[in-house]
Amino acid sequence: MEDRELNARLRGRDFLTLADFTPEEIAGLLDVAAGFKAGCPAAPLAGKTVGLLFRKASTRTRVSFEVAVYQLGGHSLFLTNQDLQLGRGEPVADTARVLSRYLQALVVRTFAHEELEELARYADIPVINGLTDLLHPCQVLADLLTVREKKGKLAGVKLAFIGDGNNMAHSLLLGGVLAGMEVRVATPPGYGPQPRIVARAEEIARQTGAAIAVTADPRQAAAGADVLYTDVWASMGQETEAEARRNDFAGYQINDTLLAAAAPEAVVMHCLPAHRGEEITAGVLAGPQAVVWDQAENRLHAQKAILAMLLGEEGSMS
Ligand code: CP
Ligand code: NVA
């Protein structure tokens, strides 16, 4: 799809979940991201201000969005609930209404996905999901770019996610099937992905020719996989569960043994931050099959594509 057509389709929309987009739109965003990575000089955010409203810590999402906005000619404002009246009880809806009068887009990192949806409902500007407890779509758009670069394609690529059925597992399921991949998720019993996300992924998979498998057996998931992917066992907000989870997730680590079960040319991915010795060994993370730093870099390029397509005015990409 031409950038101009994609821009016309996506302009003004929210980016809350990958499931809101068609396979063609996702592929188009990846092409735009690759163009930015190759040095496309467009400045579609000239004169625009993007707010980043974060209720949780962030290194990659915050910095890559701020740099992306700057490099696209715009200005970013980092906002936390502690600085805003939101932290003193001003309603989410009022915050959304007011920020819409100043900003041209809002990137949000929060706990409940419903809060993000409420912000989006009351905001007149595009709202972008910078991570909720349910989903992390910006990460997965960057991950699709990384897999495409490393494997030369997405359709049919086998990706095994080993660990918690969390926001990353959910967005990998949705993004993976939109891209026609085979997505396998291995979690300990009781930590599986939410059934409604799995059902949605199955529905999309039927249309795209993709496949999903959810199992409790990490070796089964990893067998012959092209990509092994993991994430922390205790996500932000689950700190009090960390110790119990360390017990429950023993055996769900990406280590040399699990890597040996994957395809010989398999790559290892992690959204970061990593806990060495828990979900991944220090050796695998530092080893030749890990692509995590390229993966982190691609956050910048993928988010430029999102910003340019949601905010860019007609002709701003040419
Ligand atoms: N992967 C990711 O979203 O990292 P941050 O929490 O540092 O933003
Ligand atoms: N599942 C992790 C992802 C961090 C990028 C969390 O939500 O903390």
Q: Where do the domains of the chain lie, and which CATH numbers do they carry?
A: 3-135+299-311 (3.40.50.1370), 139-296 (3.40.50.1370)
Q: Tell me the best of 136, 230, 269 to mutate to test the pocket of ligand 2, counting ligand atoms within 8 Å of each CB and taking the most.
A: 136
Give the H/E segment covering residue 107. strand 105-109
Q: Which tokens in the block code for residue 217?
A: 């057996």
pLDDT means over runs of 10, the chain (318 residues): 96 98 98 97 96 98 98 98 95 98 98 98 98 99 99 98 98 99 98 98 98 98 99 98 98 98 98 98 98 98 98 89
Average pLDDT, the chain: 98
Burial class of residue 265, CB neighbours in 10 A (0-12, 13-18, 19+): exposed
Nearest CA to ligand 2 atom 3: 235
pLDDT tens sequence across 9-31: 999 999 999 999 999 999 999 99
Cβ–ligand 1 distance for 145 under 6 Å, the answer no
Cβ–ligand 2 distance for 64 under 6 Å, the answer no
CA–centroid distance, residue 273 to ligand 1 (Å): 7
Global pTM reads: 0.98
User: CA–CA separation, 34 vs 145, rounded Å?
Assistant: 8
Secondary structure class of 17 (helix, strand, coil):
coil
Q: Which tokens in the block code for residue 82?
A: 């502690």
pLDDT tens sequence across 235-291: 999 999 999 999 999 999 999 999 999 999 999 999 999 999 999 999 999 999 999
Which residues fall within 8 angstroms of residue 286, CB to CB, at 6 or more apart? none
Cβ–ligand 1 distance for 60 under 6 Å, the answer yes
Residues in the chain: 318
Cβ-based neighbour number of residue 3 at 10 Å: 21
CA–centroid distance, residue 167 to ligand 2 (Å): 7
CA–centroid distance, residue 3 to ligand 2 (Å): 31
